[in-house]
Structure 1
Amino acid sequence: MFTRGNVWEYWPVFLHGLVLTVELSLIALAAGFVLGMAVGLARTYGPGPVRLLCTGFTETFRSIPPLLLFFGAFYGLTYATGLALSPFQASVIAMTLEASAFISEVVRAAFRSVDRGQWNAAQALGLRFWAALWTVIGPQAIRVLIPPTIGVYVAVLKDSSFASIVGLVELTRAGLLVRETVGDSLTVFLLLSGIYFAINFAISSGALALEARFRFAH
């Protein structure tokens, strides 16, 4: 007979899944932020053809469901390139594409929210484009950028659970394996929910502190 106490005997399995989820998310979100920032700036300030290309990238990967991104990265890229991607590598690619698409839109909106007069003032001071972007426009856009970016991070972190469909034993998959072993679905699902809540709460709390610091500094 299965008992709820059996679940806690498998804490190393949950810990392994949690570490893998955090590692996967950190890599993908960091790469997604860099790529999203580049695409967002190109959409905002690039020449016409570049803006069109970057807009196509953003709209394409914003519209594809995460499930298809994971399948496409794992099976599609392997078929198209002949490279044998591991489940972890494919998951990083899928999450990076998802994060970058949404972050690029956030970046574009944040930089466009800065009043045009700020550009005029920077030009009047003799600042070149990149200097003005770095010293005048960027700091103001960052304050607008933080809250929606954290929202993207939380959503993408939760979507890391789709990595289980390509064979990666991240947190959700680890929980499902324990459930299949001990049969206590309720405890496993409550535990998984609590862990995801704790991670996202920590991210949101850190974002609020960072946002408050930027407001105080400026």
Structure 2
Amino acid sequence: MSGFHEIRFPLRLALGASGGPVRRTDIVNLSNGREQRNQRWRDSRRSYEVGSGIRSLTDLYAVLEFFEARRGQLYGFRFRDPVDWASCSPGGVVSANDQIIGTGDGVTAVFQLVKAYQDAGGSWTRRITKPVRESVLVAVEGVAVTDATYTVDATTGMVTFAAGHVPVAGALIEAGYEFDVPVRFDIDRIDVNLAHFDAGRIPTIPLTEILA
């Protein structure tokens, strides 16, 4: 991913941020009173407001410093979603059996980390491109394998099995992990007014997800 710094937005500020997934849907009202809905984006795109996480001048300066180091919108960075940051549900413990990432064919050695969102009515699969490397666990046919049998690219989310450990045909491959969202600042200017800040008014600092 070009123009990207592999550094995480300060976690203490991310925990106070607001935001989540955004989708784009065209809705056309028909002459018979019904409506037709068309999906404009294949995948959702996360959007966050981190100004809500600022509680002190120290926090504010930390954001300003981070903003300057990224040159505003120029360089992307990692952001931990305050709710959705692991392969398991909130409050759960990451397990090697959390998510299905593929099925072996005896030849393919590289598999993309993904996360499935599903219920009885439908599902959507999300590519995970910024995992936390040391958190990744992998299982083949339900059994966790040692990290000596595979490598993880923390910049792309690709899991590569070593020679001699490529999953056999039909083998189910699963993984568990923590992950960040690749984002950038959605502004090139931060307005700071200390009088307003002391009165409880915080600056608006939006972030938007970068899709690979």
Question: TM-score range, shorter-chain basis?
Answer: under 0.3
With the length of structure 1 as denominator, give the TM-score of the two structures: 0.24
If asked which structure has higher relative contact order (CA below 8 Å, sep 6+), I would say 1
User: Which is strand-richer, 1 or 2?
Assistant: 2
User: Which is helix-richer, 1 or 2?
Assistant: 1
